[in-house]
Amino acid sequence: MDLKQIVGIGWMATLPWLAQAQEPRDLAERGLPFVRPSDQQKLVEQADSFFQALDPISESLGKYAVNVFSNGKMVARGTVVDDGVLTKWSELVARGSDIWVLGHDGVKREARVVAVYLDYDFALLDYGGGLDSVTQAELNESLDLASFMMAVGPSGKAHGFGVLSVAERSLRETDKAFLGVRMSMNPVEGGGVLLEYVEQDSGAGRAGLQQGDVVKRINETMIHGMHEMGGYLQKLTPGTQVDIEVMRDGQNQVVEVLLGARPDLKRFSPERMKQMKRMGGTINGVAEGFPDILQSDMQVEARDAGSPVFDIDGKFVGVVAARSSRIKTYIVSADDMFAELAGEPDKRVEGFTSSQQPLSPTVMNAGENQQLIEERNELLRYIEKAQQRLREIDAAMKE
């Protein structure tokens, strides 16, 4: 039995537990509401053994990752690229200056921001060089839905594991097609989707679709249910013209519809939405609106943004852009990351030119033990989680 089979079986066996908590391997130990102590212990054991199964692969990949510190606190992870370290811009800029990175070799290196890429909220750091770049890693060029992937830190440990749950798509509202209907959740005999409501000032309304129509086909794709219909429309962009076959009064007819742009629907207040997304851990302040992004169910912390992501063959998949909610982690694919770096950044830090001498990699506190540093970082995680939980409890008591 090869490693893929072992991990696959292990994933299915531990899924009921990891669905509740499969963040860094310590997450199982912090306790979950409504979980019995005996089940909690089982969760700890299963989560730990599962991540240990990844260690033989992840240990060789930590050389491509760094921890990023600002003003003495770890604020993000980073992925080593040819021109420096790619990390989470918004987490870095919110913390101030005095930036340094810590690689797999235990060496602290001073760093500075030299460029910013706003599409994916990335900052490029000059750290003086001396670490291996992910360009030396083998790329995964054919990632399929449900493919396993893991986020790795400089210690060579996987701190997040999951599957590709949604294929690459844009999260920008202006990039999403809008039909303008409300679909019924009830199944239709013979297949199709019943339209409960049609917005008149929309592509569907202008094309003549009506309440009570049953959508049978969109272009060449037969529609059997609302999830299938929603998934198909999600792949399209505003301005796309589609042929929609509907059944009305027992007769089939085809209607041409010009799709519009999705409106900004605000169902919850921003603070309420943040509270909902924070359930289960921290989320990044900038966690939406990315173009061409992969979505995984791996659960990481906000400070894990910037982590390199690999498949279970050790091939480079991309970089964590953000943790958006308990079940959503967004990942920039390797191809999109390299394309972004090859283009012109949105901002170059004042005084930086391509001919500027890089920082010299200096050993600061070279005697520090990497294991102690990682242990300190994990303790900081516990403190932050406890503080976050206290804030949530205080907010609930005020409601």
In a domain, 140, yes or no: yes
Residues 211-238: pLDDT tens digits?
999 999 999 999 999 888 988 888 888 8
Would you say the C-alpha torsion 260, 261, 264, 265 has a positive or negative sign?
positive
In a domain, 228, yes or no: yes
- Shared domain check, 216 and 137: no
Residues 250-287: pLDDT tens digits?
999 999 999 987 775 544 344 444 444 444 567 888 88
Report the Cα–Cα distance between both ends of the chain, in Å, rounded. 53
Rounded Cα–Cα distance for residues 143 and 140 (Å): 6
SS3 content of the chain, % helix, strand, coil (to 5): 30, 30, 40
Structure confidence at residue 376 (pLDDT): 60
DSSP calls for 48-86 = HHHHHHHHHHHTTTGGGEEEEEETTEEEEEEEEETTEEE
H helices within the chain, ranges in order?
3-18, 37-58, 89-93, 203-207, 226-234, 270-278, 334-342, 370-398
Q: Single out the residue in 214, 233, 261 at which a domain terminates.
A: 261
Structure confidence at residue 143 (pLDDT): 85
Residues 145-161: pLDDT tens digits?
889 999 999 999 999 99
Q: How many structural domains does the chain have?
A: 2
Please list the residues that pair with 328 across neighbouring strands: 325
In a domain, 14, yes or no: no
> What backbone phi and psi angles, to 5 degrees, belong to 376?
-60, -45
In a domain, 69, yes or no: yes
Q: Which of left, alpha, beta for 229 (phi over 0: left; psi -120 to 50: alpha)?
A: alpha
- Shared domain check, 77 and 221: no
Contacts 24+ apart (CB under 8 A), 232-241: 233/177, 233/179, 233/259, 234/169, 234/176, 234/177, 235/169, 236/177, 237/175, 237/176, 237/177, 238/174, 238/175, 238/176, 238/177, 238/178, 238/262, 240/177
Three-state DSSP class for 127?
Answer: coil
- Shared domain check, 233 and 118: no
In a domain, 25, yes or no: no
Structure confidence at residue 65 (pLDDT): 97
Structure confidence at residue 372 (pLDDT): 56
Edge to edge, what strands does the sheet with 112-117 contain?
108-110, 99-102, 65-70, 73-81, 84-88, 122-126, 112-117, 347-348
- Shared domain check, 96 and 233: no
323 near 175, Cβ under 8 Å?
Answer: no
Containing structural domain, residue 189:
177-261
- Shared domain check, 158 and 299: yes
- CATH, residue 200: 2.30.42.10
In a domain, 66, yes or no: yes
What parts of the chain have a pLDDT lower than 50? 1-2, 5-6, 9-34, 266-279, 351-369
Structure confidence at residue 223 (pLDDT): 94
- Shared domain check, 396 and 288: yes
- Shared domain check, 182 and 146: no
Instruction: Please name the amino acid found at residue 113.
Output: V
Q: Single out the residue in 198, 229, 261 at which a domain terminates.
A: 261
Rounded Cα–Cα distance for residues 84 and 352 (Å): 14
Three-state DSSP class for 192?
Answer: coil
- Shared domain check, 202 and 140: no
